Amino acid sequence: MTTDESKIREKISQIAQGRRNVTFDDIHWVVKQIGGEVVRKTRHGYLFRVGSRRFMVNAHHPGSKQVKAYSVDDFLDAMRDLGWYGDS
């Protein structure tokens, strides 16, 4: 595992451990590092795509950078599916 991969996995683990205190920037950094992108911005959040996997990240309030806990769960599910988090 390269240093970059270990940093990415470490950041994902930090996000998982503090899922009620995650910002959009935390998730966006990970997505950019693994070759993903923001597909669409909505009033309350962002639609991300990494490969063929898509997931939505919603903020608590318009303009807030803090992400809702269920959106963190969706992000972690996507990372599991892509092999970046969990048993893989």
Task: Please state, in angstroms and rounded to a whole number, the distance separating the CA atoms of residues 2 and 80.
Answer: 19
Q: What is the pLDDT of residue 9?
A: 96
pTM assigned to the model: 0.88
Task: Please state, in angstroms and rounded to a whole number, the distance separating the CA atoms of residues 87 and 36.
Answer: 22
Q: Determine the residue type at 82.
A: L
| pLDDT (tens place) for every residue of the chain, 88 residues total | 456 999 999 999 999 999 888 999 999 999 999 999 999 988 878 999 999 999 999 977 766 788 999 999 999 999 999 999 987 5
